[in-house]
Structure 1
């Protein structure tokens, strides 16, 4: 975000369905200075990006939502506080719906018993009418108390000319109660066969609807478990070292430059650097590797990682809101608020679904009025109520968000951060996987193996010139040369006019001499003679070393041979991708001979070498033009454009900030196994979503005709409204249970 944009989090109390989301989104976006809106229906929350965040702006936003019929409140931007606030609201909702279910169910059973006792008592005396009038009034208060939540929301919706699923529930139960009261007050208006009460049905239906909402609220709180696990990694207190001694402070009060003591068994409070002590630190929350990493003076440490053995004194390099852990939590939270394209399609259906259901209910009643048996009015009531209740689209609204949120959390636990839900959906269709070489297929830790000198001076002189020229370069090979020079205690010479040759090498002025450090191909292109280096170059290729040529004032003076070990899991990952019929490609700027040798060793299908950074993008486009879904895996700054262009950009966690910012998926570790995990998670998630949608659509497609009486002409069967309420609850249970299975999913790798 640029400095003019502010991120805010909003909780909307009555946002319970996709129809609500559509209306609220339109309302919020109509407010000036709002740049972006992301909804999380399950958590009833909204992530806003706006140009303002002052009190007047916030108050105006809340007022606009209130006028539209929704109560809302802002959250603190602290992840732990947000989670605590959301969780408390969800717990309150869960308890409310649980209480409403128990009240409704108990009262419904009482009315049901009364109904059976008086089943054959007709309304022929005033005393009987008075008794049933009292029962009707008690029933009204019972089902209004247990269903107050739905009545209030439905009333607000009607006042603001919105149609929501709360209206379906209120109409279905309200019609049943109203019919029964009219029967009590004006029994002569109804045929004798139609004199049947539905008091217990109205209360029982409301009870089962509350049960469904309780199950949904419970599922919502459970989907946040993975996010809670991340938040819990952040300790609440830490030990501050001062000139007067040590004292415990709240982690949120840490400031840059503070010295902090981390004892064995404690978590690192913020990102920092070890200034004394040594210990093994468990970084599994970042890397997925459970083996402790040895840390000593000068080594970086990350917030949330666990100090295992010795005490460490660290200096704070960030505050709590700027740590890698806080950024991960922020990314996960934002990803949970995104929607895949399949959800957007379902949302469009849900917007028109409720009005269509009301029309279907009215049309069904009309058909029964024309062709139904006596007592027609009784059958019309049953059909109308049953259609309205059974068609409540709770299951359809839950089908996709639950699966997405559970999968996002599961991915984060594996060290895989997915930026949005569409990426998860697209990853299911990958058929081309393109890999950068250095740092992706290889360790990304190149080492100088040998230096060849073609002048009278020794190799240290060549190394000193190259070191002085390369000191400003960020390329991994340049860093390898500089590290090698430091280990050999080589002094830096004064350099100037540094110029990056975009993947081909660099040039600089060192002690008044023009130093060129570049690839063999670049030397050939510039027609700089390599005749003295033929044997050295051949030796490099035989050993899978990358030869880097060095020239002074346009004349070859030496070769620096560099190697980068292949990652131990690269071959297994390539093999697994090929078994899945995914075309594998190596796209590298390295020489043909080295690239082909490594590619054949790994079993890669297609090897494209000696590619300049700006040309990588063109190869990605060519694959896409052939109808392929392309995943690009890289870690270097020069991979950023290709990651953006690809359908799914995957950045290695050891890559640059620019690369990670450009990617759709970030791996918090450097293992390529995570690429296979992404594909597995994507496939199982999309399958789970399709199962949920099938179940939800099948439920409505089958349930609505049955509720309308489609089976009555053949079998004489008409669905009771109470069983419609039970069926609605069962549909929600089915969706919640199926989506929850993803929490226990384990990848093969």
Structure 2
């Protein structure tokens, strides 16, 4: 078997899920291509093929399908930025030209010069700023396909052509005793509305690549290595396995490896999600992207480049975003049947009248065929989804819920499984002192200031929580310490001016120092550990002066929110990088039966994928870099507003302020929006179901009634107005 290669290329011109399917089909039919998978979210395609496959042939195949495969190396970020700016400019100008056309149709409908003005203003809206709708529709038609672009092109094209005819040849209708009307506003408004929807979607896609860029930014560009007895500063891509790398306080760890000398506290929250830094010393493993806090150390590089933990996270995020099957828009499905059906009925109407229409058969055939096209002109269908989505997004913003794309808003109401991160999502995400148990004879007025001064000097991650608690109680530092030393990885010791030694550390440190611990303190320590609290002891050589309990507290109202979700039939799975014991305690307090501790980022994503294979619609709720893989994999991704920038960028929905109570509101808004879309589609079609047969002339043999194309146009306009008004109802409903 010949050697195979895998490459990812940008694709231009895709506007919907069916476009992605066409590109995949075109490539998979090429000789030598093993598999092609389109990432619609990223406008790219990953092609696995034999090494000798000609790239130009792949480009030509995609071009033949109506799209552009970019096989030349270029700045992808710059290309995407230019494409977004172009779309933004087109949308703004479409709106600028549409506004006067709409005003003329509403307030000056009988002013004849207004029709000519509307005609002139409509041309750039349709054929300059909205040109891509017609180009894409033509590409689809060449291959016998129709989609949402076909629908937009048909509705706006028919409205424009009939309006143009009525503007310049009104006598055609007047000679028949009929009024002449124009519908330029229908054509321009739908182009503008659909363009706004496309722009919002493009903006959401651009966030996808921005999140990956931020993940890549977690790796430093330059590092210091020891080579041939001297320290050199080299580019990150020049680091080799077995290089000795120097890591200073505050540095991001550049590669995966093992500490060979020195020690420090390392923030690994990007891996575990836990806010407390880990003490690392000789022989301990460290990973790319984690942050060295206060010590210096040397490490031996074990994995570099694409083999590092961070690089694998980035790759898995890309794969997860691309592996999600794009949601096939309902309008695309409808368009594939509706558009050819309407054309067929119009042709059938014309033919029937030409055969059996009598003396005025040409006039009646023309008028009735036009009436069918006008009343079926699916402007309302084009407005049904974007108007409801825009109102739904606005309602979300009013309630501190940032909804980035239509897909998440449409899918959220289907969610029946939620994966939720523990730290920072259901808990506050920072350790706080919950209890201080002083010994019976402790003089707290003297000892509290000493405890504060020692912890202010400490580098231990939990020291800040104790300092904050004491300062909140109004304690002031003693300023009496004579010496201070760090017991690496164990705690600290200090001596006051009178020579009394104090120690702060774990129960294990107390036992190591042979400091006595009374039974009542041991009993309390056991109780606190059962409540997932971290224990810190403050002692002198005579005994333990105080036990301090520290814990990441559960957010207020979290249990009631999760209870409501469970009551609605949603399964909840809590995952955490924290220990299984701690996770189990929090799960018990929240009433959760599905939980797991000690998990890695890929474990959360794997659970999401597993639930999806079971047919579940999965939502992921998280706040950290360690959640990005699962956020990308989930059908609906929700980030807490105070979480990491990367998580917020990857997520489709952000709860501003990290209030978990907003979760139920987000699902409620989705329910309302989807209900509004369905109602809109009903209003969009009810006129067609009733009006098309009447427009075709089915009543003529019975009572001689023929539908005036102008009345058909009025029905079309009323259906559009119904859709817009129904969408606006969402804004006023309570959630």
Confirm or deny: 8 A CA contact 2:695 2:712 kept in the other structure.
yes
* Aligned-partner Cα distance in 2 for 1:583–1:706: 50
Name the SS of the counterpart of 2:98 in structure 1.
helix
2:103 paired residue number: 98
1:733 paired residue number: 721
* Aligned-partner Cα distance in 1 for 2:507–2:330: 51
**Paired residue for 2:424, among 432, 439, 444?**
439
**Paired residue for 1:386, among 338, 347, 371?**
371
* Aligned-partner Cα distance in 2 for 1:96–1:351: 30
Name the SS of the counterpart of 2:658 in structure 1.
coil
The alpha-carbon deviation at position 426 of structure 1 amounts to 2.0
**Paired residue for 1:375, among 360, 364, 378?**
360
CA separation of 1:393 and 1:601: change in aligned 2, threshold 3 A: same
* Aligned-partner Cα distance in 1 for 2:721–2:375: 14
Confirm or deny: 8 A CA contact 2:639 2:655 kept in the other structure.
yes
1:128 paired residue number: none
2:175 paired residue number: 197
Please give the per-residue CA displacement for 1:210-242, whole angstroms capped at 9, x wherever unaligned.
46468769989999xx9xxxxxxxxxxxxxxxx
* Aligned-partner Cα distance in 1 for 2:437–2:355: 97
1:411 paired residue number: 396
Alignment of 1:34-183 (within 5 A): 50=79, 74=89, 86=92, 90=95, 93-100=98-105, 104-105=109-110, 144=116, 147-149=119-121, 164-172=154-162
1:334 paired residue number: none
Unaligned stretches of 5+ in structure 2?
A: 1-42, 44-62, 139-152, 201-324, 440-446, 495-502, 509-516, 538-543
Confirm or deny: 8 A CA contact 2:532 2:585 kept in the other structure.
no
Matched, 1:665 2:653: yes
1:399 paired residue number: 384
The alpha-carbon deviation at position 422 of structure 1 amounts to 1.3
2:562 paired residue number: 574
* Aligned-partner Cα distance in 1 for 2:124–2:421: 58
The alpha-carbon deviation at position 626 of structure 1 amounts to 2.9
Confirm or deny: 8 A CA contact 1:98 1:210 kept in the other structure.
no
The alpha-carbon deviation at position 565 of structure 1 amounts to 3.4
**Paired residue for 1:426, among 397, 402, 411?**
411
The alpha-carbon deviation at position 563 of structure 1 amounts to 2.7
* Aligned-partner Cα distance in 2 for 1:483–1:690: 53
Confirm or deny: 8 A CA contact 2:485 2:493 kept in the other structure.
yes
Please give the per-residue CA displacement for 1:532-554, whole angstroms capped at 9, x wherever unaligned.
99645422145x2513589xxxx
The alpha-carbon deviation at position 399 of structure 1 amounts to 1.0
Matched, 1:631 2:619: yes
The alpha-carbon deviation at position 397 of structure 1 amounts to 1.1
* Aligned-partner Cα distance in 2 for 1:481–1:656: 25
Matched, 1:710 2:715: no
1:721 paired residue number: 709
Confirm or deny: 8 A CA contact 2:638 2:654 kept in the other structure.
yes
1:365 paired residue number: 350
* Aligned-partner Cα distance in 1 for 2:418–2:713: 48
The alpha-carbon deviation at position 177 of structure 1 amounts to 8.8
The alpha-carbon deviation at position 687 of structure 1 amounts to 1.4
* Aligned-partner Cα distance in 2 for 1:519–1:343: 58
Confirm or deny: 8 A CA contact 1:151 1:166 kept in the other structure.
no
The alpha-carbon deviation at position 725 of structure 1 amounts to 0.9
Matched, 1:547 2:552: no
1:694 paired residue number: 682
CA separation of 1:710 and 1:350: change in aligned 2, threshold 3 A: same
The alpha-carbon deviation at position 380 of structure 1 amounts to 0.9
* Aligned-partner Cα distance in 2 for 1:634–1:154: 43
Confirm or deny: 8 A CA contact 2:98 2:185 kept in the other structure.
no
* Aligned-partner Cα distance in 2 for 1:35–1:701: 50
The alpha-carbon deviation at position 374 of structure 1 amounts to 3.8
Confirm or deny: 8 A CA contact 2:416 2:571 kept in the other structure.
yes
Alignment of 1:210-359 (within 5 A): 210=184, 212=186, 344-347=329-332, 350=335, 357-359=342-344
Name the SS of the counterpart of 1:631 in structure 2.
strand
TM-score normalised according to structure 1 size: 0.53
CA separation of 1:625 and 1:535: change in aligned 2, threshold 3 A: farther
CA separation of 1:26 and 1:746: change in aligned 2, threshold 3 A: farther
1:273 paired residue number: none
Confirm or deny: 8 A CA contact 2:579 2:597 kept in the other structure.
yes
The alpha-carbon deviation at position 680 of structure 1 amounts to 0.4
1:268 paired residue number: none
1:561 paired residue number: 549
* Aligned-partner Cα distance in 2 for 1:714–1:429: 48
Name the SS of the counterpart of 1:706 in structure 2.
helix
Q: Alignment RMSD, CA only?
A: 5.4
Unaligned stretches of 5+ in structure 1?
A: 1-21, 37-47, 63-71, 76-84, 108-140, 184-195, 227-339, 498-505, 521-529, 551-556
Confirm or deny: 8 A CA contact 2:163 2:184 kept in the other structure.
no
Confirm or deny: 8 A CA contact 1:439 1:445 kept in the other structure.
yes
Confirm or deny: 8 A CA contact 2:346 2:372 kept in the other structure.
yes
The alpha-carbon deviation at position 561 of structure 1 amounts to 2.8
* Aligned-partner Cα distance in 2 for 1:697–1:89: 27
Confirm or deny: 8 A CA contact 1:90 1:220 kept in the other structure.
no
CA separation of 1:470 and 1:698: change in aligned 2, threshold 3 A: farther
2:669 paired residue number: 681
2:10 paired residue number: none
CA separation of 1:408 and 1:28: change in aligned 2, threshold 3 A: farther
Confirm or deny: 8 A CA contact 2:383 2:723 kept in the other structure.
yes
Name the SS of the counterpart of 1:722 in structure 2.
helix
Please give the per-residue CA displacement for 1:16-35, whole angstroms capped at 9, x wherever unaligned.
xxxxxx99x97898898998
2:230 paired residue number: none
Confirm or deny: 8 A CA contact 1:434 1:632 kept in the other structure.
yes
Confirm or deny: 8 A CA contact 1:467 1:485 kept in the other structure.
no
TM-score normalised according to structure 2 size: 0.54
The alpha-carbon deviation at position 425 of structure 1 amounts to 1.8
CA separation of 1:366 and 1:485: change in aligned 2, threshold 3 A: same
Confirm or deny: 8 A CA contact 2:155 2:187 kept in the other structure.
no
The alpha-carbon deviation at position 154 of structure 1 amounts to 7.6
Q: How many residues align?
A: 496
The alpha-carbon deviation at position 733 of structure 1 amounts to 0.4
Confirm or deny: 8 A CA contact 1:90 1:221 kept in the other structure.
no
* Aligned-partner Cα distance in 2 for 1:182–1:622: 65
Matched, 1:640 2:628: yes
